Every structure is written in structure tokens, then in C-alpha cells.
Amino acid sequence: MTQKIVVIGANAAGIEAASAARKKDRTAEITLITKEKVAGYSRCGLPFVISGAISHFKDLIVYPPAYFQMLKLNLRTQTTALSINTVEKKVTIQTFDGITETILYDSLVIATGATPFMPPIKGREKQGILCLRSMEDGEKIDEHIRAGAKSAIVMGAGLIGLELGVALIERGLQVTVIEKMSQILPQIFDADMAKLVQEHLEQKGMKILLNRTVEEIVGDDKVSAIKACGEKFTADMFINAFGVRANTKIAVDSGIPLGETQSIKTDAHMETEVKNIYAVGDCAETIHFITHKPVCPQLGTIAVRQGKVAGTNAGKVNSQFTCILASTITRLFDIEAGATGISETTAIKNQIEVVTGTINSKTKADYYPSAKPIKVKLIVEKKTEHIIGAQIVGGEEVTQRINALSFAIQKQMTIKELAKSDTAYAPPMSETWEPMVLAAETVIMKLR
């Protein structure tokens, strides 16, 4: 009998799930459902279209219609999944023109993603607050810029807020970022490393206000200003970058349990507590490699890995998802910043005693004309001497160092083993002493 597989969501995690299922089952009927007009594009690339680095939003489409045709995937765009009947194994959907249908499934993958979060701020219902989550969101922001916007307030100093802030400055706008925490990128970096990034952004003209809680959105029907800690701020554009929350409504309404993070609870197969229903991507919970606690990292790299596992299992071939480190990388103007594992702050919260080591170095031989500064911070568990986290800020070559340290953490390398690593050297490409090794030696000195 032909197997029926339904995937709710048609971006990174959902498409990867459908593709993996097709590779394992050549005859299955596979249907993807998405509310959006366009499927299979890169959300991560949106700020770079706004900045002008990428010419058009359509350039972000990774999976064109021909891809779905080639794999015989039934893609339903501008279609909303209304409910899941887990007993009768059917999904009720509504098309763009209001027609309601039901689709039967043998296996179901929920890849509903996440939506921008707006805190319970006075005036939050007012029109005109923009966000950046979908292609349509990006087009709205671009339209405001083309219409003559000269200034913007970004509420939130996480990755998306800062990447969008950089993009707006590159388009000629004056940008103010307002953050309630005492540092930028609080989910990724410790304060000492975040400060380096902040100083660079401020040098490039970004105004960053920390320890400021947005209290009110001011205006008649439409936003005209915001109030933060009693101070009023006006601008031509107001951006909600408070973060995102997992889209779990359809799961909750269907009796599919959530986990500690309020995202959908899954096991090692990405299966929920309802048999043959899987959850992947920004709506799904998983386990952190270091803390062994549930997390919902909401990263594209993790979404596609989860999608592949769920799709493989939906195709009736056993596959398991390993724990995550939530490795992250970004570029902001002229610097790269990345992290893997846990921060010193997170370690303390989890009662893990750590020793840290930080080193300032260069990306090439110091005498080489284009050598750029780089700073490496390592976080090491004192008891085992295992590396459990790393943060790097530098002018170049951050990504592959973060990747290398991710490998080291996953293989449970000790700091002494890292210090003895055999690394490569050539004046135009690296220093004689690899900065990661130098940072390791600073930790060893403290351990002694």
C-alpha cells in the first residue's frame, strides 16, 4: 500500500524532511503545506537582500518549483493547516480561496517554525511595527526604505536585530538598537566578547542603548514613537527584534505535548509523544550536548539535520538525531563573530565549574600587511578539563575555527590535547602559533 506522508511547513526543516522521505520511499505520496506564497527560500539571507549585498529576494529561493516536480512532492502554497486529527490520521487544511479539505497521512512531520514575539507592551496592537521573519516582511522593510525612511529603531540586540541594523545602516539609515539586557547578543556571548562586537558596531555608527526596557508603543492607530525607561524615541521605522517563539498551536490543539522549552517535545528520532508524528526545526525541542537539558535553538543548520532524521524515519528507515551545540556565526560590517557549546554565563547557571582562557592574536603573521585581529575565548570544565564552549571575534577566519572547536567539543577533547594540536602555518594565512592553541595554553596555566 502506498504510504502517505504530510509535512506542515515548507522551508528548511520541512523540505529537508520531505526530501529525505522521498529518498527512502520512492512511491510515497508526499504533501507539503505552507501558508506562504513562496516555499524553500533562505530566511537567513533576508538581511543581506535589505543591505544590497544580494540583489533580489527571489535570489534566496533555494528550491525552485522544478525541485518539487523532480522529487514528485505535492507542494501546497498559500494553504493553512487548521487541525490534526491524531486518531483518524488526517489534517484539515484551508486553501487561499477559503476551500476546506482533509488530507490523510500515515506519517506526519510538523515543521511550523516560529513567529516574532511581541512582549505585553502597552500599545502593542498599533499598526506599523515591522519584523523580519518572512520574505514578505523583508519586502515591506525594503519598501519603507525606498519610500524615504531615514531612521530606524530596532528593539532587541540578538542576531537578527543586529544583522538587520547593519543592513539598514548600509542602506543609509540612522539606526538605534534598544536592548533590555546589559549586553548585546546575550544568548550567544559572554559580556567581555559581546563588548568587542558592540564597540565595532558603534564605530560604524550604530547607536546601542543597553538596560532599556521598551514600556510603551506610542501613537494613534499607527506607531509614531516608543518609550523605554521613561524616554521617548521617534523614528521613521520601528522593528520588532525581540526574538521568536515556536509555532505550537496546531500541536497543542491536537493534544501533542510540549516540553520544558514550550516547544514540541521530541525523542531521538524527532518523534513526538504521538506515534508517527514528528516535529522539526524552530518549533521542536531537542537536547543540548553539554547541559543535557532540553533546548530549542532555532538555527537553520539544526533544522535541516532534524528534518533529515524525521524524513528518514517517516520513510520507515531508522535514524537518530544527536545532541546539539548550537554553533553560531555571523558577520557584522568588518568583523566575524561566532560561538559553540555553552558560554561561561550558562555554565555558571548550570552549576558547572569552569576555567576560561582568552587570547588576542592575528589571523596571519603579525608582519603580513593584511593581518587582522582575532580574539579567542575557551570555556573548560574544571573537573574533566574538557572543552565545553568557545567564542571568537575577529576580522576573518572565525567560521572554520568555530567548526574545529565544535568538533573538539563533540569528541570530548581535553584542553591539554587541544594545546598539543598539530596546526598549519604560512605567513599569508596564519600565525606560527594558532590562536586556539594559545588560548588553550592560557587555560592550562590557570588549571595549574
Identity of the amino acid at 146: R
Residue 132 and residue 164: Cα distance in Å, rounded? 8
Query: Could you tell me the three cell numbers for 79?
Result: 494553504
Q: Which of 262, 261, 325, 326 is nearest to 294 (CA)?
A: 261
44 is catalytic: yes
What is the dihedral sign for C-alpha 393, 399, 404, 408? positive
Strands (E), 80-163: 80-85, 90-94, 100-104, 107-110, 114-116, 129-130, 151-155
Residue 341 and residue 378: Cα distance in Å, rounded? 10
Instruction: Output Rg (C-alpha) for the chain, integer angstroms.
Output: 23
Residue 319 and residue 16: Cα distance in Å, rounded? 14
Residue 49 and residue 31: Cα distance in Å, rounded? 30
List, in sequence order, every residue forming a beta bridge with 33; answer none if it has no partner.
Answer: 8, 76
Give the 3-state secondary structure of residue 218: strand
Tell me the CB-side half-sphere exposure of residue 339, using CA atoms within 13 A.
22
Give the 3-state secondary structure of residue 249: helix
Residue 316 and residue 407: Cα distance in Å, rounded? 30
Which of 44, 131, 283, 296 is labelled catalytic?
44
- Report yes or no: 364 and 429 within 8 Å, Cβ to Cβ: yes
- Report yes or no: 14 and 35 within 8 Å, Cβ to Cβ: no
- Report yes or no: 314 and 45 within 8 Å, Cβ to Cβ: no
Burial code (b: 16+ CB inside 10 Å, e: under 16) for 96-134 equals: eeeeeeebebbbbbbbbbbbbebeebebeebeebbbbbb
Residue 124 and residue 217: Cα distance in Å, rounded? 6
The residues, any chain, with a CB within 8 Å of residue 50's CB and separated by 6 or more, are: 132, 138, 141, 142, 145, 164, 167, 168, 171
**Inter-CA distances, 101 with 79, 156, 230, 249, Å:** 10, 40, 51, 19
Could you give the residue numbers annotated as active site? 44
